[in-house]
Amino acid sequence: MNVFRKIKVEPLDAPTGAVVRGVKINSGLQEAELQEIHQAWLDYQVLIFPDQVMTEEDQIAFTKYWGDMPLRKRYAGRREEDRRTHESIMLISNIREDGEPIGSLPDGDMMFHSDGQYDEHPYRYTMLYALEVPKSGGNTLFANLYKAFDALPNELKRDLSNVEAQHGYYAGRHVTPEILDSLGIGLVPDSCAHPVFTAHEETGRRVLYISRLLTTSLVGLPKAASDDILDRLLDHVEKDEFIYEHKWTPGDFVIWDNRCLNHARTDFSPGERRLLRRTTVQGKRPEAAFPRFV
């Protein structure tokens, strides 16, 4: 055990994110190092560990430190069964064998979303390890939902303080059948409402908790008003001033906090291979930033 290993956290010149150096996930980490990573995670929301060499077992061990890994009950499908050792692992890939993708979410760009937002208990963390990436495109965008909330007009904060947003599985207002087809998924009747403004369970900071891919409406508002306000919120949360764009390199291990970030994917050539390995940590039901007092 190397007790002299030093972790170096380098904040990005961006609205969110930091690079973490001096860490090799496959060598195991001491408790003090994990706590240092945890604090950096709270401070910077998304952490990039470059130049990692990781087996599935390495990634699973690291993931389990942070909580329970949910079993994937949806589009894992038979195509991934023989290519992963743990049911919670998701392969994200456009690589095809016999005309079928070997993983999920194979092609094209992807709208902003927070993983599991359509569930009662969304994912707390997502972790993605890059095995193969295209020469250009297929980048991941991260939107800082703390800063999006902070920058909202006070009038909107007041008017929406006790409003919930309805979220559905790839069912956002702007999702079309063509988008679903490109992602290789179908409609699933999962839906859950969460407060428009949530409070991060650890930092207490307020979050604008909506996304273009998953949010369908604002509960209790007439449809016209709901559509208008929701579109304003979606345009707001996707402003460049809140976004960091990560350009992948093989060996990158990127981990992020779904409680305060949305993420999206840019388009890339279908002729180039892309393969990443995802794990997640189960979270709990988001708390309202402006709780009702009875």
**What is the Cα–Cα distance from 11 to 43, expressed in whole angstroms?**
9
Supply the mean pLDDT for the chain.
91
183: pLDDT strictly greater than 70 = yes
**What are the boundaries of each domain within the chain?**
8-283
For residue 188, the model assigns a pLDDT of 63
Query: Could you tell me the pLDDT band of residue 100, with boundaries at 50, 70 and 90?
Result: confident
Residues in CB range of 7: below 8 A, 6 or more apart? 20, 21, 22, 23, 33, 36, 37
For residue 2, the model assigns a pLDDT of 44
**What is the Cα–Cα distance from 116 to 137, expressed in whole angstroms?**
25
1: pLDDT strictly greater than 50 = no
DSSP state of 270: T
Written as six digits, the tokens of 12 are 């990005």
Q: Is 162 left (phi over 0), alpha (psi -120 to 50) or beta?
A: alpha
Distances (CA, A) of 132 to 26, 160, 177, 242, 259: 19, 43, 28, 28, 28
Q: What is the pLDDT of residues 134-181, one digit of tens each?
A: 999 999 999 999 999 999 999 999 999 999 999 998 889 888 888 777
Tell me which architecture the domain covering 8-283 has in CATH: 4-Layer Sandwich (3.60)
Q: What is the pLDDT of residues 27-52, one digit of tens each?
A: 989 999 999 999 999 999 999 999 99
Written as six digits, the tokens of 227 are 């559509």
Quick one: which of 268, 243, 266 has its CA closest to 256?
243
Across residues 68-97, what is the average pLDDT? 73
